Structure 1
Amino acid sequence: MAYPPERRRLQLAPGLDEVTLVARIEAGEALLRAAGFTFVSCQLPSAPAEAQSRVRECAARVVPG
C-alpha cells in the first residue's frame, strides 16, 4: 500500500527541521569515526526507487569481516 507523501515523511520534533537533523546525524557520525568506529550509514530518500538504489550503494560499501 502506498502512503501519501505527508504520511511517509518523518514527523520531526517541534523546532527540528530536516537540515538540522541531517547536520546532527553527520556530526554524530564524525564523532564515532574519530573514536575509531567503522560503520556504514545510509540515509534514504522517500522515493521507493531512489531508496532502493541508495540501499544498494550503501550495501556495496560494506566490507565483510
Structure 2
Amino acid sequence: MVRFSPEDQADIEEKWQKYRGEDPHRYTPSWLEIAMKHELTDMEREAVERGAEASEYLRSIE
C-alpha cells in the first residue's frame, strides 16, 4: 500500500478540489462510463434499424 506524507496528501486534495470544481457533490463520469454509454446508444440505434428492416421485410412478403 502506498502512503503519502501529510504535505503530499494536502497537495493531492487541493488538486482534486480543483479538478472537481466548486461542487464536490457533482458527479463526473469517467471516460470509460462515457465510452460505454456511447456504445450502448449505438447498439440501441442499430437494433431499432434492424427491427425496422425486419418489419419492412415482413410487410413485403405478405
Instruction: Give the TM interval when normalised to the shorter protein.
Output: 0.3 to 0.5
Greater RCO (Cα-Cα under 8 Å, separation 6 or more) = 1
TM-score (norm 2): 0.35
Q: Which structure is higher in helix share?
A: 2
| Bigger radius of gyration | 2
TM-score (norm 1): 0.34
